[in-house]
């Protein structure tokens, strides 16, 4: 049986403004309207002899990840939380250590959560070719058959044949210039480095001990000092923060003598930019990609994503337009790699548009900040059936709640009562309070905040069913 390890870290800053720090691209339905990149990654494992996937993600994304697994009926899958990012070698080490209980030595299939693979049958065929190699102690990496001279990827040069369908890794090559990339394409012996791997857990740990024992020691300490919280595995923050950074390529695969490559020709893309998403999307007769409410006259080779309102375009060519509730991106397709510079500028200017969308997901539901101004803020709040916000209070703001649909169970000081549709209640400054949906349909309400400070950090939690107190 294969044990899938899905790495769901990363920020996806080049896909701003859709991808944000607290809701990055792996959790977005970019290539499939019905499933996020993470969910699509999990679904393409169907039909393989595979265990429930283990997810590795940033602690900030834990509830978002858990909800997406729940929607796939995989709420019992384990989620390993990284308090800080330390690249792929430590992340995989944590997963390998956790799966090596007793005498078990499973074959790990390490996948990125934000890759597109269009030919699932060919993807699974490559996995089947790699499985006997991994079972025999080889460390397998999947090399993407290149389709053009790409300068944004690292390459793998293949050596002699190994087994049925595998090749020894001759060398790993850094991102080349265009002329060198064309030479690699012409040679037929160079493949894009996909960042997907397969190997036995103990075999990986043996090689990590040989070449980067400092990383392995830090990961052992972090896992030993951690704890289990529902389906979340938390590692010791200080121990993992002290772990050296390193990719699995640099730490192990470039040094080991047992690295092999299995070619993968399955319509792969890492969706690393808006132009990459345009390339893999279905286009109209003018090679345009329109998503959402878009009206166009005479545009060509253009990508438009309308998230919340009508976007009208006239006579455009080779542009990317992405509209969200709080930001609009307009970029030439040849310069979309520079979108990350806009994100850096937002950070440097201490703005918030790179952190989250106007709609913010919480373990109990979602809220949308629909208006704000001096000393006031208005939110539309949706609470899932059976969910409850934390027992909390605020030092600087009062709140009015108006129920739009459903029924709210409100704790307001020492009183608890129900508030139904078209009814309202008032929470004074400093009052301990809580909000719960006791019903079977979503609870929707309008919250009007007023006060001298309205930041999300003015929350003092006394009790929380999601472990945030």
* Residue-averaged pLDDT of the chain: 94
The answer as to whether 182 is a domain residue is: yes
The answer as to whether 354 is a domain residue is: no
The answer as to whether 469 is a domain residue is: no
Compute the average pLDDT of residues 315-322: 98
- Same-domain pairing of 213 and 297: no
- Same-domain pairing of 235 and 384: no
| Spatial contact of 271 and 116, defined as CB atoms under 8 Å apart | yes
Compute the average pLDDT of residues 88-100: 94
Taking 90 as the threshold, does the pLDDT of residue 229 lie above it?
no
| pTM score | 0.90
Best-predicted range by mean pLDDT among 94-108, 162-176, 309-323?
Answer: 309-323
The answer as to whether 352 is a domain residue is: no
Compute the average pLDDT of residues 377-405: 97
Q: Write out pLDDT tens, residues 322-341.
A: 999 999 999 999 999 999 99
- Same-domain pairing of 98 and 170: yes
Taking 70 as the threshold, does the pLDDT of residue 19 lie above it?
yes
Confidence at residue 469, expressed as pLDDT on a 0 to 100 scale: 62
Question: Of 249, 269, 289, which residue is a domain's last?
Answer: 269
The answer as to whether 129 is a domain residue is: yes
How many domains is the chain built from?
3
The SS3 call for residue 135 is helix
Tokens 């392995």 correspond to: 216
- Same-domain pairing of 139 and 230: yes
Interatomic CA distance for residues 211 and 241, integer angstroms = 20
**With pLDDT > 70 as the criterion, what percentage of the chain qualifies?**
100
Q: Residue 323 is part of which domain span?
A: 274-345
- Same-domain pairing of 378 and 427: yes
CATH number of the domain bearing residue 40: 3.90.550.10
- Same-domain pairing of 9 and 100: yes
Confidence at residue 410, expressed as pLDDT on a 0 to 100 scale: 98
Interatomic CA distance for residues 337 and 346, integer angstroms = 16
Conformational region of residue 113, where left means phi above 0, alpha means psi within -120 to 50, and beta covers everything else: alpha
CATH number of the domain bearing residue 391: 2.60.120.10
Compute the average pLDDT of residues 210-223: 96
Q: How many other CB atoms sit within 10 Å of the CB of residue 32?
A: 12
Q: What are phi and psi of 369, to 5 degrees?
A: -80, 95
- Same-domain pairing of 90 and 182: yes
Question: Of 345, 370, 405, which residue is a domain's last?
Answer: 345
């Amino acid at each position: 049986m294969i044990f899938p390890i899905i790495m769901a870290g990363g920020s996806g800053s080049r896909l701003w403004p859709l991808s944000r720090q607290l809701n990055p691209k792996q959790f977005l339905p970019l290539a499939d309207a019905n499933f996020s990149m993470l969910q699509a990654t999990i679904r393409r494992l169907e039909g393989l002899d595979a265990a429930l996937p283990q997810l590795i993600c940033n602690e900030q994304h834990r509830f978002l990840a858990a909800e997406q697994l729940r929607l796939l009926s995989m709420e019992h899958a384990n989620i390993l939380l990284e308090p800080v990012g330390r690249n792929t070698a430590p992340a995989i080490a944590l997963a390998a250590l956790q799966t090596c209980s007793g005498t078990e030595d499973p074959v790990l299939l390490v996948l990125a959560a934000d890759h597109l693979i269009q030919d699932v049958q060919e993807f699974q065929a490559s996995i089947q070719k790699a499985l006997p190699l991994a079972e025999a102690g080889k460390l397998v990496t999947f090399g993407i058959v290149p389709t053009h001279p790409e300068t944004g990827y690292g390459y793998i040069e293949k050596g002699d044949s190994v087994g049925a369908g595998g090749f020894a890794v001759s060398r790993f090559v850094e991102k080349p210039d265009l002329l060198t990339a064309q030479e690699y394409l012409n040679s037929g012996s160079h493949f894009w480095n996909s960042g997907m791997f397969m190997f036995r857990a103990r075999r990986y740990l043996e090689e990590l001990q040989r070449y980067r024992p400092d990383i392995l020691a830090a990961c052992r300490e972090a896992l030993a000092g951690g704890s289990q919280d529902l389906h979340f595995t938390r590692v010791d923050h200080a121990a993992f923060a002290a772990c050296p950074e390193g990719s699995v390529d640099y730490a192990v695969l470039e040094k080991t003598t047992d690295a092999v490559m299995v070619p993968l020709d399955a319509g792969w893309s890492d969706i690393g930019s808006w132009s990459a998403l345009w390339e893999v999307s279905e286009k109209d007769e003018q090679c345009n990609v329109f998503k959402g409410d878009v009206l166009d006259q005479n545009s060509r080779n253009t990508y438009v994503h309308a998230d919340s309102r009508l976007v009208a375009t006239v006579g455009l060519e080779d542009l990317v337009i992405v509209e969200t509730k709080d930001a609009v991106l307009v970029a030439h397709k040849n310069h979309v790699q520079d979108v990350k510079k806009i994100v850096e500028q937002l950070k440097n200017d201490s703005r918030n548009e790179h952190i989250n969308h106007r709609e913010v997901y919480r373990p109990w539901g979602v809220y949308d900040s629909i208006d704000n101004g001096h000393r006031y803020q208005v939110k539309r709040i949706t609470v899932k059936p059976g969910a409850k916000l934390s027992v909390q209070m605020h030092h600087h703001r009062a709140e009015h709640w108006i129920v739009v649909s459903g029924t709210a169970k409100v704790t307001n000081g020492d009183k608890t009562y129900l508030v139904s549709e078209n009814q309202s209640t008032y929470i004074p400054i400093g009052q301990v309070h809580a909000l719960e949906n006791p019903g079977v349909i979503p609870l929707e309400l309008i919250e009007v905040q007023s006060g001298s400070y309205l930041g999300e950090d003015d929350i003092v939690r006394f009790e929380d069913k999601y472990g945030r107190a």
